[in-house]
Amino acid sequence: MKFRKILAAGAGAALAFTLAACSGGGAGSSDDSTADATGGTDGAMTEGGTIGVAMPTQTSERWIADGDAVKAGLEAAGYSVDLQFGNDDIPTQSQQIDSMITSGVDALIIAAIDGTALKAQLDQAHDAGIPVISYDRLIRDSEYVDFYVTFDNYKVGVQQATSLLVGLGILDESGAETGEAGPFNVELFAGSLDDNNAHFFWSGAMDTLQPYIDSGALVVPSGEMDINVTNTQQWKQETAQTRMDTLLTTYYVGTDLKVDGVLSPYDGISRGIITALQNQGYSGTVADGFPVVTGQDAEIASVKLIADDVQFATIFKDTRKLADQAVTATLAYLEGGEPEANDTTTYDNGVKVVPSYLLESDIVYADNIQSLLVDSGYWTAEEVEAGQAS
Ligand code: BGC
């Protein structure tokens, strides 16, 4: 594909201050959800075009932070940004992307709601010479995904399962086995089936947990161990709360069984699970015997729950770094080049293996909130204390 070349000069230099523009925003920072500012931070950068940025939802703070950071980085490089959130509604997102293409954007950065639903949009983008960067979630079934920026999603799943095993005392924080053999009662939750990531998280987690299920150290009293049953449509907190409640009333209430741990793939789901547990009489902290619940995204409400020893862990994916990679990749195309991939084998979208740039993630426990989240400026100590972004 031959892309339109926007910035003959200056875009390379723009990369140098992309990082600065993206840093310091924190996950909680947010400004207007749409933007049309023009102009860069230096007078030479006045020739930028417009980049369409499609994010899935504003119900989860990480996507607001992602959108803000991508917008800030592109604006610092001299581009206008059309940033839209799809309200977790597939037709809404498709229409937003349709109008971005119609209005003549120069590149698209898309975090899909349903990774299989954008083939028509990508066909149109290709016909119009618009490069498409798949952001965090892989767009499937189209050859016109040019590049993918994300985290090592299989490893995120491994980390989620590892944190469950650490919380149960089967592993220590270094990942070494302690000799603890259970048995522990656990229940398992997966993400939304239409999100390619959910399958990677699940595979990483189940590959890690299966040996302990096989040895009998972990028992799943419900028997629900298939992603077609454990998934949570659209990653919704209420859906997870309802399923956890059903699991409790069906398999635990009125028996001697107690839940010891729950694999959760996302902090919103974790909070739904925790609420269901509390509604059924589980109380106190993990140290007191509250079930070990995992998570993902280091959302501020969950970081506080971790600091308070109610949620056990989450996975921190620094969205500032992801946004920076998305900006870098976009500028590479607009300069007529190719972004640098660090993975060219993992992400087959059903039509082709999409060249990818994968970032690393970290497990957050109560004892490293300070070093991972506060010292890096992702959240302030006050925000952690309050459980909300300031
Ligand atoms: C992202 C996760 C997020 C989930 C729900 C996934 O695609 O990779 O970070 O927790 O969507 O928003």
Residues with CB under 6 A from ligand 1: 60, 62, 136-137, 191, 195, 197, 235, 266, 296-297, 317
Please tell me the predicted confidence (pLDDT) of residue 31: 36
Which pLDDT does position 47 carry in this prediction? 62
Domain with residues 153-316+382-386, CATH architecture: 3-Layer(aba) Sandwich (3.40)
Residue range 335-343: average pLDDT? 95
Quickly state the pLDDT bin for 135 (edges 50, 70, 90): very high
Same fold? 11-145+318-359, 153-316+382-386: yes
Q: What is the pLDDT of residues 147-187, one digit of tens each?
A: 999 999 999 999 999 999 999 999 998 999 999 998 999 99
Q: In which element (H, E) is residue 102 found?
A: helix 90-102
Topology of the domain covering 11-145+318-359: Rossmann fold (3.40.50)
Cα of 136 from ligand 1 centre, angstroms:
8
Least confident among 1-5, 53-57, 182-186: 1-5
pLDDT of 73 above 80:
yes
Band of residue 258 on the pLDDT scale cut at 50, 70, 90:
very high
Q: Residue 204: CA atoms inside 13 Å, Cβ hemisphere, count?
A: 21
The answer, yes or no, to whether residue 1 has pLDDT greater than 60, is: no
Q: Which segments within 88-155 are labelled E, that is strand?
A: 107-110, 132-135, 147-151
Q: Are 14 and 335 in contact (CB under 8 A)?
A: no
The alpha carbon of 98 and the centre of ligand 1 are apart by a number of angstroms equal to 23
Domain boundaries, the chain: 11-145+318-359, 153-316+382-386
Backbone angles phi, psi at 256, to 5 degrees: -85, -5
CA–centroid distance, residue 4 to ligand 1 (Å) = 31
